[in-house]
Every structure is written in structure tokens, then in C-alpha cells.
Structure 1
Amino acid sequence: MTTLVSGGAGYVGSHTVAALHAAGRDVVVLDDFSNARRGAVGELRLLTTPDLAVVEGDAADRAAVRELCDEHDFDSIVHFAAHKSVPESFADPLRYYRNNLLSTLCLAEIAVERGIDRFVFSSSAVVYGTPEQLPVSEETPAAPQSPYGTTKLMCERILADTAASSAMQAVILRYFNPVGAHPSGRIGEQPITAGQNLVPAVMRVALGALSRLQIFGNDYDTRDGTAVRDFVHVTDLAEGHVAALDADLGTRRSRVFNLGTGAGTTVRELVAATEAVTGRPIPCEIVGRRPGDIAESWADCSRAEAELGWSAQRDLGQMLADHWRFASACAEISV
């Protein structure tokens, strides 16, 4: 069993590569390193195998992907490679449509062409927009509120339609808010481009790299006025991708699954939990809401538990402790 993992040097991708290796699968990583550090490859090889195949290239490059398929007998594809910032997608939507759609089209076409029968897609809860009810189930109508979310939903539809007309089965994983790091401390979230994800920003404040945390809005209709999110450990997400590859879909051509914990945490609650884990204060500054932000979102994961045999095993304290271990080690190296 050999799996092609696009974007496999990135945050969730690298953890999934480690989980796939632990599950006995051979893995080939394809990554253009536009938002992943090459140094992560060495750490990933220490966690997997020294000869882990890592190819630098664009998942939208048909010639490059076909060449990989000539060299390896893939039975599955896990597709992570995408731009993924909501604010950035408002600033440069065409970049998001071009990259996210073309990479998915290329991999889907070649999966059909080469008879690769399982395609797992890294989607996102952003496709739901402002949910009509909570918790969010897979039946909740999709209504993305950003170009990024729209590209994810369009990719989902591309894969579902492709699966309906071919031998390929598509598993679409809508995961909520990934945090944490590998328990070894070797890999974690370390993007090249400056992101606006909450937990990395909180950690930077704890490390002294930022003077204060910007909280985008405190006037939401929530228990403390700040936004509520479902934070899930990146290792749990990685294990969800292994379960998706192994799942028996029966006659279904495609299937959507939420991956989260099923619990919501406010921004203020997460700040307090981080202070408890790190033993350091997190000064905060309230600023205006950002385009595309919503008040509350957490997952109903009962379908994944029933059909994939998957549920999140790690709580918020472990997520933050693992994230802090990795962030602290990175800070020590950079000094």
C-alpha cells in the first residue's frame, strides 16, 4: 500500500505522514514548500524512515504527478496542498481559486486515469459558514463566507462528481481547528508565511515574541463575548486520515465526515488554559472582527465515530502542552 500525500511537509500533512507510516503504509510526499520548511523533512524522516520519499513539486503539475505515478504504484491519495488563510483569501482570491482548484483537478484526473481508488481530501469546517444550528453535523447546509471556504466546497464537489462517474471513492474530511504537535516535539505548526491562527499567536505571546494577543471581537453572543471554536489535536486529525483510508464505504462513491472534539472553547478560555499550561501571562488587546469570522462552531462527530471508528482522544490541556513543547523548542533553536 503506497499513498501519495500532497502537502505532506506541512502541519497536518506531516503528522498524517507519521501516522500512515505507523500504520504500515508506504508514503510518498509531494510538496512545493511554499508554506512548509524543508527542515521538517529531516525530522519527519527521524519519525518514519530515513528513505522517506519526498519530492519537491506542485500538485497542479500534471507532468510531475504522472512521473511520480510511473515510479510508484499508488493505491490512494491524501490531498492537503492548498492555500488556507481566510483573511489572505479576501486579499487575493484569484490566487486561492487558482491553486486550490487546479491542484484538486489535477490529482482527481490522474487518480481516475491511473485507477487510484481512494482519494482523501483535507477540507474544512469553514465550508459551513455561520451554521444554522449547533453542533454542526455533515447535514448542515454549506454556506462559506470567504473565498478560501468557497474553494474548499468547490473542491469537495469536484471530487464527489468525479467519484460518482468513476471507480474512485472520495472521503472528504471537514476538520475544525487543528492545534498541538507530535508528542516527540519534532514536528508541529511552523509555517513560512505569517498566519493568523489563534494558538500559534497565543504561543508567540507566551514566548515574548509578541507583546499581546489581538482578540478579534468581544461582542459576540457567546458566554464571554469572544468566538467559540472546536480545537482538535493534530495527531487525532492524522489518525482520522488513516481511518479514512481504511474505511469501508460500501457502495457509496463519496462520504463527508466532521473531525473535531464536539466541544467548543472561547478565545478567553483558551487564553486562560494556555496561561495554566505555560505558567506565563498572556496580555490581550480587543480589536475589531475580521471578515469571514463567525461567532460559534463546534462539531457533531457521531458519523466519524460510527463509520470510521474514530473519535478525538486528546483534550485541550494535552493539545496546548504539546504545542507549547514544540514552540518552546523552536524558540530555543532560533536564539
Structure 2
Amino acid sequence: MRVLVTGAAGFIGSHTVLELLNAGYDVICIDNFSNSIADEKGEAVSLTRVSQLTGKQIPFKKCDVCDEKELEEIFKTEKIDAVIHFAALKAVGESVQLPLAYYRNNIVASLNLIAMCKKYEVRNFIFSSSATVYGTPEKLPIDESCRVGVGITNPYGQTKYMMEQILRDVGAAPGENWNMILLRYFNPVGAHPSGRIGEDPKGVPNNLMPYVSQVAIGKLPVLTIYGDQWETKDGTGVRDFIHVVDLAKGHVKALERMDKKGSIGTEVFNLGTGTGYSVKEMVTAMEKASGRTIPSKVGPPRVGDIASVYCDPSLALEKLEWKAELGLEEMCRDLWKWQIDNPNGFLAA
């Protein structure tokens, strides 16, 4: 199978490309560099490093999935058997500030991509969704039967929920024979153990662990913990953190399922560890990995935050034969190696 990967130069995209190549898949990669870095030749720095790690050439084209003409050129000229769709704006806080940009980018890009798949008869489609579709969880742990679309607190989460619904409707159209897998990620952290690829946030990180690692290395002065009076084991928020390498391997398993089964319709899977870690536990683990003290202070809870979110990943084990193999220690160890080896991200290469 030859796989088109959109948003391939990003954090999860680049790790998934590496795992696809290791598993023997051919790839064609596209990205518009809105969340990633290009070198002076216009190549994706992260994918150049993936190429070095795997010893394989990676066909790459700069392309904005919102640009229908650019996208069609790729479908016309490349043989594509499956699509993994990562390309999206992804910062929760920014989506509240720029809702129109998020709806326009995330929905239009996805509609263009699905239309091209339909036109060029590419019927295997894996969508990068998010635990945000569950909104305020009705129960813990969250399984795939839990309600979605209720209590979503930001436009980013709404775009993921809307796209899930669109994909379900497209997949259910008579006579189309789509294979759709919607993967709901929990909280990806860590980096490739080589230290060659990892998360390179533009500006101040939006997510906890890149922020923690930048405090540890001295780029940021102090971590603000948003609330320490939650109804959790230590009063700080609890989330299901998953190593990005495990997450990437989940996409390979999804492709293998499509390959093996031939016809699956539309399926949904949680990708998480099933274990909730608190903010304080994450900080302590990072202190251990880095050998450094991480200064922190307590601030007020953020609007829309909830105390605990973690999943039941057993359906992915049953049907995808996938489970998270890497724990908190490996997440922090690999994140710290990436941070130390690349203090300024990919630009320091």
C-alpha cells in the first residue's frame, strides 16, 4: 500500500511516517509548514531526519490541503492506496481566539481531501481525531461508546467532532465501500528515542510536557499549574499521556487492519494508555529524567478545564491488536533527550 500522509512534517505525522517506513509501507508526504519547519531547499527538516533514521527516501511535496488544485495535482500524479490525514490547526487556546480560521482550515482541508479520495477511488482513510470530541466525560474511563459532541469547550474540538460526523456520513453512503478509521488521541508526549525527531512548538508551548521540558532546560522560567484543588489524587488535573511512538504505531495497525479485512466500514478507536497521570506526577517524572528541579506555581483553573480524562483502550487491543508499550519513564526520558539534543528545536540542526 502507498500511503498519502497529510501534515507529515508535524510532530505526530513525522513519527508515523517513520513507523510506516519501518513497517514496509511506501509513503508520499505533504505539508504546508504551518506547524513545522522547512530548510533552505524547502524540504521538511523533520522528514529529512526520518529519512536518515530509516535509510529511505521520502517523496515530499509542499501542499496546502485547502488548495484544491494543488491537492488534485498530487492525486493525478501519484499512485495512492490509503490516506492518513493529520493536517490541521491544533492549538486549543488559539482556536478560541481564531475560530473562523480553525473552521475554515480544518473543515475545508478535510472536505477537499475526501472529495479527491472519492474522485480518484482511494477508499482507505485514517483520520486524526481527538479525545476532545468527548467534551465533558460522562464516565471514566472513556470508551468508544461514550457520547460525543456534548460539552466541547473550543472550536478545535468542534472541528474534530464535525469531521467525524462528516466521515461517518460519507462512509455510510450506499455502494461506496469506504474503509474509515477514526483514531481518538489522548495526550501525545515524548519523542523518538534517537532524539532526532520530536515536538517543536512555535513560540510558547500550548501543551504541558513541552512547557515542562522548556522550564527544565531554562528556556522558560516557571510552570503554572492551573488549579490544585481538583477532585483528584493530588489536587492537580489528571490526563492520559501516551508516548508518540506508541501513537504512531497505532496508525500502522489501523492500515494493517484495512489491508487484512478488506471491508470494515467506519470504525473508531481510542489511542491512550488507560492510565491517568496528574500534572504533579508528570513534573516529578520529568525532574527524575532530567536531574533538574522544575520550578512551578499554582494559578487559577482555566475556563473549560476538567479534573480527569483517561480512556479505556481495550477496543484497540481487541481489533487493532495495538496497545501502548511505553510508560511514563520512557515518555520523559525521550522528551528530555530531544530537548537536550535540540534546545532550539529543528532550527539548531
TM-score by length of 1: 0.97
Q: Give 2:170's aligned amino acid.
A: T
The answer as to whether partners of 1:87 and 1:292 remain within 8 angstroms in 2 is no
Equivalent residue for 2:41? none
**Cα deviation, residue 237, structure 1:** 0.5
Equivalent residue for 2:283? 271
SS at match of 1:225: coil
- Give the direction of change, closer, same or farther, for the CA distance of 1:12–1:63 in structure 2 (3 Å limit): same
**Cα deviation, residue 334, structure 1:** 4.4
Equivalent residue for 2:160? 152
One of 268, 291, 303 as aligned partner of 1:291: 303
Is 1:329 equivalent to 2:341 in the alignment? yes
- State the number of aligned residues: 335
Q: Give 1:185's aligned amino acid.
A: G
Cα distance per residue 1:250-280 (max 9 Å; x no partner): 6541010000000000001111111111110
- Give the direction of change, closer, same or farther, for the CA distance of 1:163–1:49 in structure 2 (3 Å limit): farther
**Cα deviation, residue 287, structure 1:** 1.3
CA distance in 1, matches of 2:206, 2:319: 33
The answer as to whether partners of 1:131 and 1:297 remain within 8 angstroms in 2 is yes
Cα distance per residue 1:222-266 (max 9 Å; x no partner): 111111000000000000000111114565410100000000000
CA distance in 2, matches of 1:47, 1:191: 22
Q: Give 2:57's aligned amino acid.
A: D
Equivalent residue for 2:171? 163
Is 1:220 equivalent to 2:256 in the alignment? no
The answer as to whether partners of 2:180 and 2:264 remain within 8 angstroms in 1 is no
**Cα deviation, residue 290, structure 1:** 2.0
**Cα deviation, residue 47, structure 1:** 2.2
Instruction: Specify every segment of 5 or more residues in structure 2 that has no aligned partner in the other structure, as ranges.
Output: 39-44
Equivalent residue for 2:85? 79
CA distance in 1, matches of 2:62, 2:122: 21
CA distance in 1, matches of 2:133, 2:13: 20
Equivalent residue for 2:294? 282
SS at match of 1:203: helix
**Cα deviation, residue 195, structure 1:** 3.0
CA distance in 2, matches of 1:266, 1:72: 45
SS at match of 1:99: helix
CA distance in 2, matches of 1:88, 1:133: 28
**Cα deviation, residue 126, structure 1:** 0.8
Is 1:255 equivalent to 2:267 in the alignment? yes
SS at match of 1:282: coil
Counterparts in 2 of 1:104-183, with a 5 A limit? 104-142=110-148, 143=150, 144-165=152-173, 166-183=176-193
CA distance in 1, matches of 2:17, 2:157: 25
TM-score by length of 2: 0.93
CA distance in 1, matches of 2:313, 2:319: 10
Equivalent residue for 1:28? 28
The answer as to whether partners of 1:206 and 1:282 remain within 8 angstroms in 2 is yes
The answer as to whether partners of 1:111 and 1:168 remain within 8 angstroms in 2 is no
CA distance in 1, matches of 2:178, 2:264: 10
Cα distance per residue 1:38-87 (max 9 Å; x no partner): 22232122123453111111112221121111221100000000111111
Instruction: Specify every segment of 5 or more residues in structure 1 that has no aligned partner in the other structure, as ranges.
Output: none
CA distance in 1, matches of 2:132, 2:226: 17
SS at match of 2:308: coil
CA distance in 1, matches of 2:20, 2:337: 23
